[in-house]
Structure 1
Amino acid sequence: MPAAITDVATELLLVPLEPRLRAYGSDVVSIVRVLLRDSDGATATGFTYTLGAGAGIVCRMVDELIGPAIVGSRTDDWGEHRRRLAADTRRLGRSMFAPALSAVDIAVWDLRGIQSSRPLYAVLGGKPRAVPIYGSGRGSNSLGLDELVEQSLGYLRDGYPAVKIRAGARSPSEDLERLRAVRDAVGDAVPLMVDCNEQLTLADALWLGRRLSDLGYRWIEEPLIAEDVEGHAVLAAQLDVPVAVGEHLVGRYEFAHHLRTTPIGIYQPDAALTGGVTEAVRIADLAEAGNRSVNFHSLPELHIHLAVRSPNACYVEDFGILNGVLAEVLAPQDGVVVPPDRSGHGIVWDSGAVARFRQSL
């Protein structure tokens, strides 16, 4: 029987983003870390994050609600606690509770792995395999054209076989010029994607998407606000370039609604935002049952574990949103990455950076 959870604590980190990662006005990421300790002295970590305000509320949700509910319990009790907490907080709305639940859920799965001396992927029933990784983040829309091209080429020099570029903060015609310049620079064989971060109108998304097909882009990501299911259905039906959604969808029911009502073929859940490892795995399985692919959003050090147990996972995304507080990052070897064999998720935090960016609550 696993040891009981004896302590649940949170800390808020405000971490500056590298200038080349900044987009749409965001220059800092707020990271909420959750630390679990059990009666044997094992310590596990979970986390969530936001590029906006309000992360302190997430800490309070954990400190005042979730933490007290699970102290004294064991990790194999988590499923029942999770269901009850979700039911009890339903009227607060999913978007408020989901980040807090995600951070604790990730910590619980980390503790499960540590208690059983197994990597997270093994706890999830997966086996280690190599997964292609793509570079994401350096292709910011805040960069000038020449720097955008240089940063994209830099990903290729660093061993990434595919690259994603940001769009949506400029006019569609200027974005098209930038996307064409990157394609010309990297050549026709390199897979390229574009992320619009919910910035386009339906008309502009149709205009840009139709031209991306000629440039050989693999997908257009979140062209519309995530809640516009009908608009995404129109895009997926009318564009040749695939449409990808998911980083802003919360929980399996929102994904299931998309699956039922749109022909979108690429889903991008983020375990730190959508409900933790538990929910992200459910979403991956839903996508597989619907013959859709899943490409987990960001956080490669965590999502590699979920990708190797999901046969419909095509890529891991490397957006360095946590890099400022990590002592080790997942780096490509021959264009692919494999999960670490350390117990739990195996994320190695930089204790000095964590202390430097920790905020008083």
Structure 2
Amino acid sequence: MPLERLTLRSVRARPVVLPLERPIVARIATITRWPLILIDLETEEGVTGRAYLEPYLEHAMRYLVPALHDLGRALAGRRLAPVEIYEAARKSLHFVGYAGQSMIAASGLDMAAWDALARAAGVPLCVLLGGSVGPVRSYNSNGLWLREPAAVADEAVALRDEGGFTGLKLRLGRDDARIDLATIEAVRRSVGEEMRLMIDFNQGLDMAEARRRCHMLDPLGLEWIEEPVVYDNFRGCAALASELKTPLQIGENFYGPRELHAALAMNACDLVMPDFMRIGGVTGWMRAQAIAGAMGIPISTHLYPEVAAHVMRVTETAHWLEWQNWADPILAEPYAVAGGDIVIPDRPGVGMDWNEDAVAAHAVSL
């Protein structure tokens, strides 16, 4: 069917905060409540595109919500061509910089624009992008934080069984590295040797400690070691990547595709995993995955599993989707997982609508 021409009318951004079933306990932070910004991009033709942002910190919503509303006012009346909207949103923020909250706001707008366009076409986003509805391999990242080894091992069984997962991610970085090793051993005993295990240090180590700990982990057959040092230390990451047999994973803090390219040009990693609110939404992802594909680098997703599932169906070097169900309480029909694969619903757009009763129950004032 012909693709309907859409005109951006307004953007509505609503802050909500959800309790986490399994609180985040990492080396650099403890988080018990998860902030979300729900975005409704309304068009003159009556089609509404939806997306959400996950800014980690509740107070960050005080700046992002007004930024989204400002972008909506600035772009009202424009034809809803997502790539053009993305470029206009970025360039409107040129004087305050493309990184940080500027890119996050533009990314949220971009995801909602792509959803609206696919809804207007009456097809799932992956189909609009040239792919098809199908399975996407996922690992469970809903827990396995810095708790005692026995508790982590028990939780690993529960996480595996939530959707028949074949991959799980553990967070490391305890004060005593021997407890980190004991935790991996306990998880191996509980879920079996065939389980693919990813390790994330959440940027918690300096270079000296990263070298010591990563070499301790190197013989364990891990799927990857993620962000051992601060995210922008590409030189340090390159040194680690050259020393280790285990693939080094970075990328959730790339602000835009050019940062991904810079990291790969420096051989800073073996794997990349952009985050949608930083890489530039769907538009930024498609540009980033083309760079990764041209260089033969496997690319995984970070958060935003609903959007992630669609773009992974059209990504040349698609690796793993990070499954987290933290937004499920406010979704009318959450995505399902079966046999370790995320199940893309055969619905127009990304296939997300809000559970308005849950939204009202968790709404916050800024």
Query: For this structure pair, what is the TM-score category when the shorter chain's length is used for normalisation?
Result: over 0.9
Q: 1:20-35 maps to which residues of 2 (within 5 A)?
A: 20-23=23-26, 24-35=29-40
Q: 1:117-156 maps to which residues of 2 (within 5 A)?
A: 117-141=122-146, 143-156=147-160
Note the C-alpha offset of 1:47. Answer: 1.8
Q: 1:218 aligns with which of 220, 223, 234?
A: 223
Note the C-alpha offset of 1:201. Answer: 1.5
User: Matches of 2:9 and 2:260 in 1, distance apart?
Assistant: 34
Q: 1:7 aligns with which of 6, 10, 13?
A: 10
Q: Deviations over 1:225-260 (max 9, x none)?
A: 111111110110001111101111110111010010
Q: 2:255 aligns with which of 250, 255, 260?
A: 250
Aligned position for 1:298: 303
Pair 1:54-2:33 in alignment: no
Counterpart of 1:3, as a letter, is L
User: Matches of 1:172 and 1:227 in 2, distance apart?
Assistant: 24
Counterpart of 1:106, as a letter, is M
Give yes or no for contact 1:6–1:37 (8 Å, CA) kept in 2. yes
C-alpha RMSD over aligned residues: 1.7
Give yes or no for contact 2:145–2:152 (8 Å, CA) kept in 1. yes
Distance 1:87 1:42, change over 3 A: closer
Note the C-alpha offset of 1:39. Answer: 2.0
Q: 1:130-209 maps to which residues of 2 (within 5 A)?
A: 130-141=135-146, 143-158=147-162, 159-209=164-214
SS at match of 1:204: helix
Note the C-alpha offset of 1:132. Answer: 1.3
Counterpart of 1:11, as a letter, is R
Note the C-alpha offset of 1:162. Answer: 1.0
Give the TM-score, by structure 2 length.
Answer: 0.93
Distance 1:154 1:96, change over 3 A: same
Q: Deviations over 1:251-279 (max 9, x none)?
A: 01110100100152211011123211100
User: Matches of 1:355 and 1:22 in 2, distance apart?
Assistant: 28
Give yes or no for contact 1:302–1:345 (8 Å, CA) kept in 2. yes
SS at match of 1:14: strand
Counterpart of 1:128, as a letter, is V
Give yes or no for contact 2:17–2:363 (8 Å, CA) kept in 1. yes
Counterpart of 2:362, as a letter, is F
Q: 1:227-238 maps to which residues of 2 (within 5 A)?
A: 227-238=232-243
Q: 1:32-47 maps to which residues of 2 (within 5 A)?
A: 32-47=37-52
Q: How many pairs were matched up?
A: 358
Counterpart of 1:223, as a letter, is P
User: Matches of 2:338 and 2:89 in 1, distance apart?
Assistant: 41
Give yes or no for contact 1:194–1:220 (8 Å, CA) kept in 2. yes
Aligned position for 1:91: 95
Of 204-213 and 270-279, the range deviating more from structure 2? 204-213
Of 297-306 and 80-89, the range deviating more from structure 2? 80-89
Of 295-304 and 46-55, the range deviating more from structure 2? 46-55
For structure 2, which runs of at least 5 residues remain unmatched after alignment? Answer: none
Pair 1:82-2:86 in alignment: yes
Q: Deviations over 1:104-161 (max 9, x none)?
A: 00100000001111111111112233221111131111x2222100111112223111
Give yes or no for contact 2:143–2:155 (8 Å, CA) kept in 1. yes
Give the TM-score, by structure 1 length.
Answer: 0.94
Q: 2:117 aligns with which of 112, 120, 124?
A: 112
Counterpart of 2:22, as a letter, is P
User: Matches of 1:298 and 1:224 in 2, distance apart?
Assistant: 20
Give yes or no for contact 1:135–1:319 (8 Å, CA) kept in 2. yes
Percentage identity across paired residues of the two chains: 27
User: Matches of 1:31 and 1:88 in 2, distance apart?
Assistant: 24
User: Matches of 1:337 and 1:80 in 2, distance apart?
Assistant: 30
Of 350-359 and 116-125, the range deviating more from structure 2? 350-359
Pair 1:335-2:314 in alignment: no
User: Matches of 1:228 and 1:206 in 2, distance apart?
Assistant: 14
Note the C-alpha offset of 1:22. Answer: 4.6
User: Matches of 2:90 and 2:160 in 1, distance apart?
Assistant: 43
User: Matches of 2:293 and 2:204 in 1, distance apart?
Assistant: 28
Pair 1:63-2:65 in alignment: no
Of 193-202 and 23-32, the range deviating more from structure 2? 23-32
Note the C-alpha offset of 1:95. Answer: 0.5
Q: 1:243-322 maps to which residues of 2 (within 5 A)?
A: 243-262=248-267, 264-322=269-327
For structure 1, which runs of at least 5 residues remain unmatched after alignment? Answer: none
Pair 1:19-2:22 in alignment: yes
User: Matches of 2:243 and 2:343 in 1, distance apart?
Assistant: 36
